[in-house]
Structure 1
Amino acid sequence: MTPPTTRTWARRGHTPLIRVRGRSQRRFSIAALACYKPGERSRLIYRPKRHADHKRGGRRSFTWTDYRDLLVAAHQQLGAPIVLVWDNLNVHKDARLRAFIDAHDWITCYFLPAYAPDLNPVEGLWSLLRRSSQANTAFTDPDHLMRTLRHGLRQIQYRSNLIDGCLTETGLTLTTSHQQAQ
């Protein structure tokens, strides 16, 4: 509920202030896949999740089944095999998720080096989202925050050049099997 702050303009000596009532203990997570295929428009597939009250012992992040469901939905939406390049989040390495991936021939999984956020294009998408949709916004309630996040993600979805730019920023490139053979 606490937004990132960015620069703003005001008359000299009159710094704009926004008072926020209090911090919410509610928690949201969003998992996203940046999808690239040579010759096609890049796509963003995401799933938000609102967590139950974590003070009562509820989980504060995505479970392996949430990631499994995201992969199944992406496979259905894309209608093609998936080459998954993941960071080293502990849930991504969960034995149950690994067993699911190994059991399906439409998923090939690779892991990024131990700490390499600069190689993950989704990190660039989160940065865009924070700077565009969330910056300098005092959210009135959790629903306001979720509506804003969904709107910002839809804006990114419709602008494939932003998704392409996040891949370009990593220095990684797309290659086809034909190009690799040469």
Structure 2
Amino acid sequence: MLLAGKTPAQAAHAVGVARQTAYTWKAVLDEGGIDALRAMPTRGRPARLDQDQLQDLGRALLRRPTEHGFGTELWTLKRVGVLTWRLYGVKFGQTQIWRILGGLGFSVQKPERRAIERDEDAVQTWKRKTWPALKKKPGAKGG
């Protein structure tokens, strides 16, 4: 992009990096050419899961947690951590798991507060008949 005439700010925005990173790339490009840019070392800690493993993890998460031996149908950060350990022998902190899930396109989902097995008719009957009988009546206790 820089060779095509884009500004460092435009290039940074297009590839999702900080503007300063694109300005560094431009300085290296201007000084040493494209070969110098290609020879730049990558920064940061190397990834512990490669792209194929990440895609495989994403597919595994699309299956139900119970299929992976968990007791309920709810994925949690802790469970995803257990799954990455089982599949790849790699442990991540919950913050990193959160980032990995975001990178895979997953988002936070709040579970329903009601049980799937809830019998709505039984609940309404209880509210209409049983609950009023259980409520304290004013003056029922001597005091």
TM-score band (shorter)?
under 0.3
Q: Whose Rg is larger?
A: 2
Q: TM-score scaled to structure 2, two decimals?
A: 0.22
Q: TM-score scaled to structure 1, two decimals?
A: 0.18
Relative to total residues, which structure has the larger helix share, 1 or 2?
2
Structure with larger RCO (C-alpha < 8 A, sep 6+): 1
Relative to total residues, which structure has the larger strand share, 1 or 2?
1
